[in-house]
Amino acid sequence: MNEKSKVLALKYRPKTFQELIGQKVTSDTIINSIKADKIPNAYLFTGIRGVGKTTIARIVAKSLNCLNGVEKLCEKNLCINCEGISKSGHMDVLEMNGADKTSINDIRDLIEFSRYGPTSSKYKIFIIDEVHQISSSAFNALLKILEEPPNYLKFILATTEIKKVPVTIVSRCQRFDLSRVKSEDLFQFIKKVKDCENGNVSDEALRLIVKISEGSVRDALSLLDRGLLSLNKKKELNLSEAQKIFGYFDKSQLIEMFNLVLQGDEKKVLEIYRRIFDQGIDPKVFINDFLELIYYFKNINSLTLESTNFSLNDDEFSKIKKISNSVDNKVLILFWQFTIKTIEELEVVSNQNLSIEMYLMRLIYLSPLSEKIDLENKNNTKLSVKRDFDYVSKNDAVDQIKNITQEKKIKSENDTNIKAENRIIETFKNLLDTCNEKKEMKLKYELEKNVNLVNFERNRIEISFNDNLDKSFVKDLSSKLYEWTGERWIISFSKEKGQLSIKQQGDDEKKKLINDIKKTQMYNDFLNKFPDAYLNDVIVGEKNDDK
C-alpha cells in the first residue's frame, strides 16, 4: 500500500520501542529482559483499545528475531526478518485473532505447528490478539505448552478484557498492563503528526481530539484524520469546527446552564439546552458531560488545569472555581446522584430529549435557593415542603432530599366508606401497641428498627431515620393513623438525631445485662469449670416471691 494513501493510524504506527509513546516502563522492561537473555515463555499485554498492544507485540517479535539485535533494531533499512514481520508475512511469526480462531481445533493446529523449529530466525513466535475470545477448551489446550514450550517458541497474547482470561493462563505469562497515554504526551504526538501532514489545525481543536480519544492513540489519529479530511486545506480546523465535526459542544455553555440551574431560571436553562440539542448533540453525551461538570464543581479546589486533561480551558476553569465557592458540597453530591439516576432512566425512555429537559427542570426544583414552597390545592389545603440536604438515601436520588412536613390530603369520594375508629393514640408506645393489635407487623418493624423518635404529640410525630427506612413508610403510617383515629396527622423529618430506635435500646440493654453478669462471681466460677464457655444471651425470667 502506498504510504500516502494509508490512514494516519497505520501510517504513524510505531516500528520500534523508541517511537512508542506513553509505555516507557513496559518498553524498558522488555528491552532489559532481552539484553539479559531472560525472555519469558509468554508475554501478555492488556489495556484499552489503541494504546499499543498489537504494536508492541510486533515490536517484541522484531526485537527477538532482528538480525541486528535489540540494541540496533532496524528502523529504515529493514533486515529480512523485520520486513517480513512488519508486513505480517514472516514464516516464523504467526499472527492470529482470538475472535476468528476460537475453537480447540484451531489451538491444536497451532500446537502441532509449534513442534517444528523456526526456518530463518531465532524464535518461532505466535501472536494471539483478543485472546479472551477463545473458548475455555482452547485455553485448557494452551496451558501445558505455555508453561513449558520449546526453547525456540514464544507466545505473545493481547487482550482488552483481562478478566475474561483464565487465571491459569495469566499466571503462565509475563503480564504488562498498558496505561492510557497521558494527555500532554498525546497532544504533542498528534501535533507532530499534524505538522508532518501539513494540516491546518488549531491547538484548541487538537486538545478536543485528545479529550475525546480518552488516552487512545489510535482514536486520536483517526479523529485527526477525519478532521483533516472534513475541511478545505486552506481553512483552519478550529475548536468551533471541530466541535461540529465530532459532535461536541462548548463547555462554557454547560457552565452557564449550570449557573442558571442554581439560580432557578427555567426559561434560559431550556433555551441553552435546546440550542445545544440543535447542534446535533446526543442526549447521552450531554448528560455524561454534565456529570463530568458536576465533578469539576465539587473538586475544583483540589485540581489543576492540567489535571482536567484538556476538558477545560483557562476561562472555564476560573468560572467553575468562582461559582463553586457559593455552592454547598451537599448540593453537588445530590446533583451527582440524581444525574446517575437519570442516566439509568435514559435507557428506558423513547424520547431522550424530553427526558433531559425534565431532568433539568427537576434539578432547578432541587436548588437550595428556594428553602420553602407553599402549594394550595382546590380545597385550599396547604402542602408545606422544606428542603434539607442533610438526608441522603442510598437507593433513590429523589428520596434523598425528603425532609417533608406532610399534611394528609382530604380523602377522595371513593374513600368515604372507610369508617374511622376514633382511637386515641397519645404516645409512641400506644402507636406500637396499636400496630401489634392490628397485625400491622411491617409498620411496627419500621417504627422499631429504622425510626428514631424526636417528638410525639397529639396529631404530630417528628422523627429522624436511617437509610433502610421504607420509601412508603410516611404514606402508610399517615393512612393508618387516619383510619385508626379519624384525624389527620403530620409526620415530619427532623435534623435532630432523636432517641435510639426501639431495637437499638433493646440491644444496648441486653449488652449492659450481659456485661453486668460477666462481673459476677457466679459467672467467673462457671468459667473456671468450663473455660471454653461463652455468654451469648441472657433471658430474664419472672420473679418468684416464694424463693
Examine the fold and report which residue of 160, 177, 194 is the final residue of a domain before the chain moves on: 177
In 300-384, which residue ranges form alpha helices assigned H by DSSP?
314-324, 329-346, 352-366
pLDDT band at 404 (very low <50, low <70, confident <90, very high): very low
Which of helix, strand or coil describes residue 537?
coil
Q: 438 pLDDT exceeds 70?
A: yes
Task: Give per-residue burial for 351-363: e unless 16+ CB within 10 Å, then b.
Answer: ebeebbbebbeeb
Q: Are residues 34 and 112 in the same domain?
A: yes
Nearest one of 403, 207, 400 to 312, comparing CA atoms: 207
Please give the pLDDT value at position 215.
85
Q: Which of 161-170, 186-195, 420-429 has the lowest mean pLDDT?
A: 420-429
Please give the pLDDT value at position 397.
39
In the DSSP assignment, the letter for residue 306 is G
Q: Are residues 351 and 462 in the same domain?
A: no
For residue 473, being part of any structural domain is answered with yes
Angle formed by the axes of helices 502-518 and 441-449, nearest 10°:
60
Contact assessment for residue 83 and residue 141, using Cβ atoms and an 8 Å cutoff: no
Instruction: Report the domain count for the chain.
Output: 4
Name residues whose C-beta falls within 8 Å of residue 113's C-beta, 6 or more positions apart in sequence: 94
pLDDT band at 55 (very low <50, low <70, confident <90, very high): very high
For residue 343, being part of any structural domain is answered with yes
Q: Are residues 271 and 355 in the same domain?
A: yes
d(Cα 204, Cα 208) in Å, to the nearest integer? 6
Mean pLDDT of the chain: 80
Cell of 251: 463547555
Q: 547 pLDDT exceeds 70?
A: no
Phi, then psi, of 504 in degrees rounded to 5? -65, -40
pLDDT band at 249 (very low <50, low <70, confident <90, very high): low
Q: Are residues 222 and 303 in the same domain?
A: no
Please give the pLDDT value at position 372.
35
CATH number of the domain bearing residue 157: 3.40.50.300
Q: 220 pLDDT exceeds 60?
A: yes
Q: Are residues 209 and 166 in the same domain?
A: no
Burial category of 446 from C-beta neighbours within 10 Å (exposed 0-12, middle 13-18, buried 19 and up): buried
Cα 441 to its chain centre, rounded Å, is 38
Q: Which domain holds residue 54?
A: 3-177
How many helices (H) and strands (E) the chain has is answered by 22, 11
Q: Are residues 16 and 160 in the same domain?
A: yes
Query: Is the model more confident about 345 or about 188?
Result: 188
Examine the fold and report which residue of 493, 518, 542 is the final residue of a domain before the chain moves on: 493
Sign, Cα dihedral of 39, 45, 51, 56: positive
Q: Are residues 332 and 462 in the same domain?
A: no
Taking CA 531 as the corner, what is the angle to CA 529 and CA 532, rounded to the nearest 5 degrees?
Answer: 130
Q: What is the pLDDT of residues 303-361, one digit of tens each?
A: 776 666 566 767 788 888 888 888 888 888 888 888 888 888 888 888 888 889 998 98
Q: What is the pLDDT of residues 256-294, one digit of tens each?
A: 888 899 888 889 999 988 888 887 778 888 888 888 888
Phi, then psi, of 356 in degrees rounded to 5? -65, -40
Q: 11 pLDDT exceeds 80?
A: yes
Q: Are residues 64 and 8 in the same domain?
A: yes
Please give the pLDDT value at position 390.
38
The mean pLDDT value for 79-83 works out to: 87
Name residues whose C-beta falls within 8 Å of residue 215's C-beta, 6 or more positions apart in sequence: 22, 48, 51, 179, 180, 181, 182, 183, 186
Q: 376 pLDDT exceeds 50?
A: no
Please give the pLDDT value at position 310.
60
For residue 529, being part of any structural domain is answered with no
Q: 403 pLDDT exceeds 70?
A: no
Q: Are residues 27 and 157 in the same domain?
A: yes
pLDDT band at 156 (very low <50, low <70, confident <90, very high): very high
Q: 380 pLDDT exceeds 50?
A: no
Please give the pLDDT value at position 56.
93
Query: Is the model more confident about 456 or about 233?
Result: 456
pLDDT band at 154 (very low <50, low <70, confident <90, very high): very high
pLDDT band at 392 (very low <50, low <70, confident <90, very high): very low
pLDDT band at 473 (very low <50, low <70, confident <90, very high): confident
Beta bridge partners of residue 43, listed in sequence order: 156, 174
Cα 369 to its chain centre, rounded Å, is 30
Q: Which of 110-119, 374-383, 513-522 has the lowest mean pLDDT?
A: 374-383
pLDDT band at 540 (very low <50, low <70, confident <90, very high): low
For residue 522, being part of any structural domain is answered with no
The mean pLDDT value for 244-263 works out to: 82
Q: 157 pLDDT exceeds 90?
A: yes
pLDDT band at 373 (very low <50, low <70, confident <90, very high): very low
Examine the fold and report which residue of 246, 261, 283 is the final residue of a domain before the chain moves on: 246
For residue 515, being part of any structural domain is answered with no
Cell of 379: 380545597
CATH number of the domain bearing residue 298: 1.20.272.10
d(Cα 392, Cα 366) in Å, to the nearest integer? 13
For residue 215, being part of any structural domain is answered with yes
Query: Is the model more confident about 421 or about 457?
Result: 457
For residue 499, being part of any structural domain is answered with no
pLDDT band at 46 (very low <50, low <70, confident <90, very high): very high
Q: Are residues 134 and 70 in the same domain?
A: yes
Q: 385 pLDDT exceeds 50?
A: no
Name residues whose C-beta falls within 8 Å of residue 251's C-beta, 6 or more positions apart in sequence: 289, 293, 311, 312, 313, 316
422: left (phi over 0), alpha (psi -120 to 50) or beta: left
Say what percent of the chain tops pLDDT 90.
14
For residue 201, being part of any structural domain is answered with yes
Q: Are residues 143 and 41 in the same domain?
A: yes
Nearest one of 28, 62, 47, 15 to 219, comparing CA atoms: 47
Q: Are residues 24 and 111 in the same domain?
A: yes
Q: Is the pTM of this model over 0.75?
A: no
